[in-house]
Amino acid sequence: MSILKDTYGRHHSYLRISVTERCNLRCTYCMPAEGIQLSPKSHLMTADEIFKIAQAFVKQGVSKIRLTGGEPLVRKDIDAIITRLSSLPVTLSITTNAISTHRHIETFKKARIKQVNVSLDSLQTSRFTTLTRRNYLETVQNNINELITEGFEVKLNCVLIKGINDDEITSFIKLSKDKPLHIRFIEFMPFDGNKWNIDKMVSYKEIMNTVNTDFPKTDILRINDNPNDTAKNYQIKGYQGTFAVISSVTNPFCSTCNRIRLTANGKLKNCLFSSNETDLLTPLRQGDSILPYIEKAVVTKYKIRSGMESIEQFKDPDLHGKNRSMIAIGG
């Protein structure tokens, strides 16, 4: 039996690796305003350690690896990390804020990266600056266009927060009219320091109510979801691109989850919502096999959202308040 199969029969073939806790943005839902306590450099995985751990997972059946951060492209040796990981028999992809993708296009191509996910929560300059505490919208938009021109599949990840950017749903979808963009709306989720409460969340139902109001219902096409897909996928008739909703809170996809996460300091998280972590870096540095630690982490995974089975449980901060800030987990 594979050590990546849990007690509910889910095989975890998708590994998301955070390569840094640092970022060149300060998104309000991701990082507390006062910042976070970064791990000392000696506690973070080196490029060699990232490869060794990834290699161990691939030997056990991981077929897809996504690099995340923080912002992965702020790491100085990111090109070397990408190049080395591309030697493994996996589909390699990356999530980025696209501020500096123009510097890494050739590395992406040589590494056979075909899909780039870009985090973008507003199309309005002043609002983007407020949300990210930085003024980079024009740079991001230019780099998104370059990625499309260079042939990458680009997904835009937009976290919706009520009263902040939920009035931009239609504007985002219209981006997919003349460009092969894949827009993904993500329900606001609770993490340390992001002052989450359920009243700030824009639900899947509310998102689709807006879509049904702003577009003819006959033009809203429900399209097929891929196996293990986190998103419910749609397309507006005649549009080049698509849009989707990732409803982690109101309509979770836990039954088909195949994802596990490795933090930049070498901790394995079996669920995005879990505050429990398994240290892989220490045994690796001690020369021990990390396979028993991986197996234990996978086999103890809860059936649904780290045990939070109902919406009501999300209202109890004791059940999710001990989780890391999103920036320290990796998207």
pLDDT tens across 37-58, in order?
A: 788 999 999 999 999 999 999 9
pLDDT of residue 86: 98
Determine the 3-state secondary structure of 18 from DSSP: strand
Is the confidence at residue 250, as pLDDT, over 90? no
Confidence category of residue 234, pLDDT binned at 50, 70, 90: very high
Mean pLDDT across the stretch 112-135?
A: 95
Q: Which two tokens stand for residue 210?
A: 């807006």
The least confident of 44-48, 167-171, 235-239, 322-326 is 322-326
Q: Where are the domains of the chain?
A: 14-328
pLDDT band at 247 (very low <50, low <70, confident <90, very high): confident
Surface-to-core class of residue 263, CB atoms within 10 Å of its CB (0-12 exposed, 13-18 middle, 19+ buried): buried
**Best CA proximity match to 44, nearest among 12, 87, 81, 13:** 81
Q: What is the predicted pLDDT for the residue at 244?
A: 97
Is residue 75 very low, low, confident or very high in pLDDT (cuts 50, 70, 90)?
A: very high
* Average pLDDT, integer, range 235-253: 90
Q: Please, which pLDDT band fits residue 324 given cuts at 50, 70 and 90?
A: very low
Give me the pLDDT at residue 308, please: 60
Question: pLDDT-based confidence at 307, cuts 50/70/90?
Answer: low
Paired strand residues for 184: 157, 244
- What is the average pLDDT across 81-95? 98
155: helix, strand or coil: strand
Please list the residues that pair with 161 across neighbouring strands. 201
Which H/E stretch holds residue 283?
Answer: helix 281-285
Provide the residue type at 99 as one letter. I
Judged by DSSP in three states, 222 sits in: strand
pLDDT of residue 251: 73
* Token pair belonging to 243: 């849009």
**Phi and psi angles of residue 23, each rounded to the nearest 5 degrees, phi first:** -150, 155
Residue 231 has pLDDT above 80, yes or no: yes
Question: What is the predicted pLDDT for the residue at 123?
Answer: 98
Fold category of 14-328 in CATH: TIM Barrel (3.20.20)
CA-based nearest residue to 55, from 258, 330, 291, 328: 291
Provide the mean pLDDT of the chain. 90
> What percentage of the chain exceeds 90 in pLDDT?
73
Give tens-digit pLDDT for 133-166: 899 999 999 999 999 999 999 999 999 999 999 9
Rounded Cα–Cα distance for residues 331 and 322 (Å): 17
Distance of CA 233 to the CA centre of its chain: 17
For residue 303 the two structure tokens come to: 């059936």
Average pLDDT over every residue of 105-132: 96
pLDDT on residue 194 = 47
pLDDT digits (tens, 9 = 90+) for 182-212: 999 998 876 554 455 678 899 999 999 999 9
Nearest-angstrom CA–CA distance, 265 and 69? 11
* CA–CA distances in Å: residue 30 to residues 11, 116, 223, 292: 28, 19, 30, 32
Predicted confidence at residue 327, as pLDDT, reads: 47
* Distance between CA atoms of residues 78 and 42, nearest Å: 17
- Collect contacts of 132-138 with beta carbons under 8 A, ≥24 apart: 132/25, 132/26, 132/27, 132/28, 132/97, 133/25, 133/26, 133/27, 133/28, 134/24, 134/25, 134/26, 136/24, 136/25, 136/97, 136/99
Peptide bond into 69 cis (omega under 30): no
Average pLDDT for 256-285: 92
